[in-house]
Amino acid sequence: MSRLAAALVYAVLGAVTFVVCFPLLWAISTSLKPKEEIFRWPPTLIPERVTLESYRELLFGGAVASAPGAGVPPSAFFVDWFVNSVIVSVGSTAISITVATLAAYSLTRFRFRGQRAVPYVAILGYMIPSVIFVFPMFLTMVALDLPDTLLSLILGYVCITLPFCLWLMWAFFRGVPIEIEEAALVDGATRLQVFRQIVLPMALPGIIAASIFSLIVSWNDYLFGRVFMNSMDKLPLTVGVMHFFDGTHVDWGLMMASSVLMTVPMAVLFGFMQRHLVAGFGAGAVKG
Amino acid sequence: MTDVAIRRLSKSFGANRVLKALDLTVPSRQFVTLLGPSGCGKTTLLRLIAGLEQPSEGEIRFGERRVDGLPPGERNIAMVFQSYALYPTMDVARNIGYGLEVRGTPKAERRERVGAVARVLEILHLLARKPRQLSGGQRQRVALGRAMVRKPDIFLMDEPLSNLDAKLRAAMRGELRRFHLDLGTTTIYVTHDQLEAMTMSDLVVVMNEGVVLQIGTPEEVYARPANLFVAGFIGTPPMNLVPARNEGGRVTVEGHPLPVAAPAGAPAELILGIRPQDVSMAAPGEPGTIPGKVWMVELIGSERLIEVEIAPKLRVTAQVRASHRAALDDAVAVRLDPAQIHLFDPASGRALARDAGRETGAPPA
């Protein structure tokens, strides 16, 4: 009976895993197919002939496109979009994490008016759908003469990621025993030394978690990129790849190759950082 | 060598006044224990001495140096926290040497001093480990090592043994006392455990509700409690405290005269205190005894506690040899050793007649 139960559990788990993974598998498969195989019926999951044609066009298409007289195909901008996405994701994450870490630390360690309300107001702000404030924010960007710049996107992403990062770091710092910092103060460390040498290393798992969150949000965002950006060479990846879909035809090969290339950095990052996330922080420092 | 002088020290958290104009002198090289129940202000006092809290009023001096405005790092103190508070991301060697590191001690000297302390504490083999890889006792030693390595003027210890199991705690009590005798550093030790206070201290400071109620050697606070609070707090099982009367200079309990004279000027109403081991069992009707009946009998190893009800809801506990048999509701009498009787003024709570040790004059709550 228990063997049957185990078999059932594995069957269900296998089915769920397949459903979850299928889109990714399909994207990888399609990205590796030659164009004529993509629409063949019945479809093939494993390409009969593997080609890197779509990837080549995305990554090196820019050189071809610069030939005089040729219309510039959207794929020529893929590398630009990729770089843009990296800049805005990393930039907004750096700002969000720096501000959130310092703010959360002060919220848990110093007493001031409204101290308890700040994290709750922040998390409330995060719950407002971004579609509500994207247009007011766009108008603000216009007033600041910032639309169609990467800086506007960075600021936009900071607005949506900062509240949650602040909340996360706040919850994290609340769990860091204050005696450890007091011990360092008694040992003769300055406030800054305490923060740099004691608090930050302890907060690393929290910082990594918040960074992953912020990177994923800004990397995957479509709305802000669509509203704020206009020039072809300044689009983020998510908005850019929509140009492979132009109303008359969809270039599924490029679309899927782009999807794979967009997924890879996040997957690698997550795989690498995951180890740090689970590193047993704090254990053993205070009574167990 | 540094003595600690605390003058009119007060600390309030909002409307809550935790320390009330407290005066205390900790003599140089002594092991002084702050003893009191939870919330009596002893940890707050220690944190004020450490510089982790700022006093609302009053001053703290280490020797001639006034320190209450200085940050903790400039007071040359070391503190052992109840939770040990080791740095989780650093190995044991760096944990111990961190105080030297931030003070700019050269690496070679640091390594040498950390090694010397680790050898004394027998944790040399643990230097490369992280705190989470240590047992409770080992963490305790690392915390001690971190305090010892800097050769501070004063050791502050906040219930450092409370997270250890009973056996280890007993062993560490002896070791801490031994370290203190070897190093001779002024030590202020906070605990609510009177056994720790009695076994380790040169001086015991009994505190309650933000004031010092008595300062004395362990023998003094035990044998000559200055007031009702100290009398009831020190000693296991606790002292019997029963209402008594001064009838023309003669002390009576429930109308039974005792062979004890009330001191001159004693009020009519008294509280009589006597430790259970100074109470013996007698046959009913013997002169100078108080009759009653056995209410409860408890065996505590080699001895037996017999609770005798001498009046409704008024019981006296006698600690007698385990061989002494008594059955519930037996008619018995208790004899109080007249030399060991303490008398207190119920209004002020102060001890009467006997030398009350170095009482501070603050009334108990």
Predicted confidence (pLDDT) at residue B172 exceeds the cutoff of 50: yes
Tokens 């009946």 sit on residue: B293
C-alpha–C-alpha distance, residues B13 and A6, integer Å? 59
Please tell me the distance from the alpha carbon of residue A139 to that of residue B32, in angstroms, as a whole number.
68
- What three-state secondary structure class fits B274? strand
Read off the tokens for B341. Answer: 């009787």
Token pair belonging to B235: 């000693």
Count Cα neighbours of B79 within 13 Å in the Cβ-side half-sphere.
Answer: 28
The confidence score (pLDDT) of residue A288 equals: 36
Q: B72 vs chain A: nearest CA distance in angstroms?
A: 5
- Counting one residue from chain A and one from chain B, the pairs whose CB atoms sit within 8 A come to 95
Q: How far apart are CA B36 and CA B52, in angstroms?
A: 21
Residues 179-208 of A with CB under 8 A from B: 179-180, 182-190, 193, 198, 201-202, 204
3-state class of B336 per DSSP? Answer: strand
**Chain A interface includes B348 (CB < 8 A):** no
Q: What is the pLDDT of residues B261-295, one digit of tens each?
A: 888 888 999 999 999 999 999 998 888 899 999 99
Please state the rounded mean pLDDT for residues B181-191: 93
Distance CA A6, CA A4 (A): 5
Q: Half-sphere exposure of residue B141, counting CA atoms within 13 Å on the CB side?
A: 23
> What angle, 0 to 180 degrees and rounded to 10, lies between the N-to-C axes of helices B92-102 and B136-148?
20
**Nearest residue to B35 (alpha-carbon basis) of B278, B199, B223, B178:** B199
Task: Give the H or E element holding residue A100.
Answer: helix A78-109
B199 touches chain A (CB under 8 A): no
B155 touches chain A (CB under 8 A): no
pLDDT per position as a tens digit, A49-89: 888 988 998 888 765 544 454 567 888 899 999 999 999 99
Tell me the per-residue pLDDT of A89-106, one tens digit each, with 9 for 90 and over: 999 999 999 999 999 999
Q: Do B85 and A183 touch (CB under 8 A)?
A: yes
Q: Which residue has the tokens 């690498």?
A: A272
| % of chain B with per-residue pLDDT over 90 | 81
Q: What is the CA radius of gyration of chain B?
A: 24
Tally DSSP H helices, then E strands, for chain A.
13, 0
B280 contacts: CB under 8 Å, gap ≥ 6: B318, B320, B334, B335, B337
Task: Quote the CA–CA distance of B275 and B241 in Å, as a whole number.
Answer: 9
Task: Check CB contact under 8 Å for B102 and A187.
Answer: yes
Mean pLDDT of chain B: 91
d(CA B95, CA B89): 9
What string of DSSP letters covers B188-242? Answer: EEEES-HHHHHHH-SEEEEEETTEEEEEE-HHHHHHS-SBHHHHHHSSSSPPEEE
| Secondary-structure class of domain A77-278 per CATH | mainly alpha
* Euclidean distance between CA atoms A212 and A216, whole angstroms: 6
Q: What whole-number distance in Å separates Cα of residue B66 and Cα of residue B64?
A: 7
CA distance B149 to chain A (A): 10
Q: What per-residue confidence (pLDDT) applies to B1? A: 63
* DSSP code string of B79-114: EE-TT----TTS-HHHHHHHHHHHTT--HHHHHHHH
CATH topology of domain B4-223: Rossmann fold (3.40.50)
Nearest to B270 by CA among B335, B209, B353: B353
Q: Which helix (H) or strand (E) holds B66?
A: strand B65-66
Cis peptide leading into B237, omega within 30 of 0? yes
Could you tell me the CA-to-CA distances from A257 to A78, A234, A243, A265 in Å, in that order?
Answer: 11, 20, 14, 13
Q: Which amino acid is at A23?
A: P
Rounded Cα gap, residues A53 and A35, in angstroms = 9
CA-based nearest residue in chain B for residue A284: B132
Express each pLDDT in B128-139 by its tens digit. 999 999 998 899
Three-state DSSP class for residue A128 = coil
Q: Are strands B4-13 and B16-26 parallel, antiparallel or unpaired?
A: antiparallel
Q: % helix / strand / coil in chain B, to the nearest 5?
A: 25, 35, 35
Residue spans of the domains in chain B: they are 4-223, 241-353
Q: Which helix (H) or strand (E) holds A26?
A: helix A2-31
> Domain boundaries in chain A?
2-51, 77-278
pLDDT tens column, B110-123: 999 999 999 988 89
Instruction: Give the residue carrying structure tokens 């809801």.
Output: B313
Residue range A190-198: average pLDDT?
Answer: 92
Among A122, A191, A134, A201, residue whose Cα is nearest residue A163:
A122
Distance between CA atoms of residues B205 and B193, nearest Å: 13
The CATH code of domain B241-353 reads 2.40.50.140
Tell whether the model's pLDDT for residue B360 goes beyond 60: no
Residue B295 has a CB neighbour count (10 Å cut-off) of: 15
Q: Do A182 and B85 touch (CB under 8 A)?
A: yes
Check CB contact under 8 Å for A287 and B86. no
Evaluate if residue A175 carries a pLDDT over 50.
Answer: yes
Distance of CA B321 to the CA centre of its chain: 28
Amino acid residing at A63: A
> What is the per-residue pLDDT for A246?
76
Q: Does B92 touch chain A (CB under 8 A)?
A: no
Chain B residues within an 8 Å CB radius of A280: 132
Question: What span, in angstroms and rounded, lies between the C-alpha atoms of A283 and A191?
Answer: 23
Task: Check whether B56 has a pLDDT greater than 70.
Answer: yes
- Phi, psi dihedrals of residue A148, rounded to the nearest 5°: 65, 25
pTM of the model: 0.79
Angle in degrees, CA A254, A257, A262, rounded to 5: 120
- Model pLDDT, residue B231: 95
B164 — pLDDT class (breaks 50, 70, 90): confident
- Cβ proximity of B136 and B168 under 8 Å: yes
DSSP B56: S
Q: Does B71 touch chain A (CB under 8 A)?
A: yes
DSSP lists the bridge partners of residue B252 as B245, B257
Beta pairing partners, A245: A250
Residue with tokens 């850019």: A240
Query: What residues form DSSP beta bridges with B350?
Result: B227
pLDDT value at residue A63: 55
Quick check: B146 and A286 CB within 8 A? no
Mutate to test the interface with B, among A110, A185, A186, A287 (most CBs of B within 10 A): A186
Q: Say how far apart CA A40 and CA B219 lie, in whole Å.
A: 98
pLDDT over threshold 70, residue A8:
yes
pLDDT of residue A276: 64
Which of B145, B139, B148 is closest to B185 using CA atoms? B148
Distance of CA B7 to the CA centre of its chain: 21
Contact in structure between A173 and A105 (CB atoms under 8 Å): yes
Q: What is the ipTM of this complex?
A: 0.82
Q: What is the pLDDT of residue A76?
A: 85
Query: Is the pLDDT reported for residue A185 higher than 90?
Result: yes
pLDDT at A62: 61
At B148, list the tokens: 């010892």
Q: How many CB atoms lie within 10 A of CB B74?
A: 12
Residue A232: count other Cβ atoms within 10 Å of its Cβ: 14
